[in-house]
Structure 1
């Protein structure tokens, strides 16, 4: 009954127990997307480590640590520039500060963010991420295989690879975002090396598309439910710190592509294709390491 009370307070009431983890993750995302104050969401997450709460608690604490460490500088710089309170940069600073203002220093020092405990983790997203990192490290440290030629078009595939299947309860856009970034893994000599995770689209590796796939990976969370307008953290943080104040992730990437005179429509279509591939659970094998 205690759990039901705090879930209801956040709008989590009437959840079917058979779909609890999936539904709670979806509700966490909904609350995260619309949050102007992270404190209630963080409090709920810290009480619910087994159903997506720990993952979202880590996300919020990491964001607020950055905001807490930088917001005074952002504010000082914007005032020195004579920006009005309704200027996009001023609004971004206040948005980020407002989300974190009611979170205590004690909560920000929670060891979940900096030191993941070896045992007692229950969150399915954290466990899946940990399993992925372990497998990626194992593949990276193995002897390199020869390049493979496959398919009717003789597609060249990387010699080292790992495919991750994402069941429905793991198809959270922030989790997908975590998996599609660059990961430091150990090579055969025990040296940490950054490897790039590439993407299988509907069962086939797309060669020579590293940049397009990278852009698509940044946009895929938007296709999977993350609110990616000017309020989204990476967009707002870039604006607050003195970078471009875009209307969202799509505008940011379109502007960068136009500056390089490249085909942004290809990146958009790849993002949509990747998102659809992820949604098709049986075909959602999305990551490759080489």
Structure 2
């Protein structure tokens, strides 16, 4: 095994999740292709610069785009989560947060058909943002990709509704966590009402302006939301999750022109965190 390639344990974890080969002429081995794809995103190099030992870069890119567009990576991630959930290894005390990713100049210039590129202009230039919810062990459960200038609270419902862990046996997928941890960016009446309506307990601190407004209104301001300081300390797992994802240079800096390709790269990295 060379640097940045899949270990034997990772390959044995991923092999049953891959789609079966279609009929026709013999194609390049799946492990070789996955090694090439993983090598490309872990190093952040261009497709044309992937070493020849992984086969033609065009073959790697074609297979990656096919799997990205037909949802293969997402189905593999859900299958890995379902396997862990069946074994009781998913921590349903979840944490939600976002991280901004700087987009390289190569990420610009997509064709006109790709309107939703999840790119926005901010102080740092072109950026994307990953809104993510992870389990108690810092493994991604779901994420949403937006432009970098998108407010966190506007995507809270979307990222929570993206949680969908299938059952190994009969039954509907699990979509509701036991408890949610979030920072002050998610402190709003709308978010707290959304969680209460679904019976999900939460630990989210109030912003300073919200505290002042509540105190100014006196008894009409209502009671402060319950806040457990000790439980809130566990929210750091989502920060560690982002740190692990950004060990992949092709994720820490976005080089992909389309949102589908970058989304697939983050999904692949998330999948390997479950391995």
TM-score of the superposition, structure 1-length normalised? 0.26
Q: Which structure dedicates a bigger proportion of its chain to strand?
A: 2
Q: Which structure dedicates a bigger proportion of its chain to helix?
A: 1
TM-score of the superposition, structure 2-length normalised? 0.27
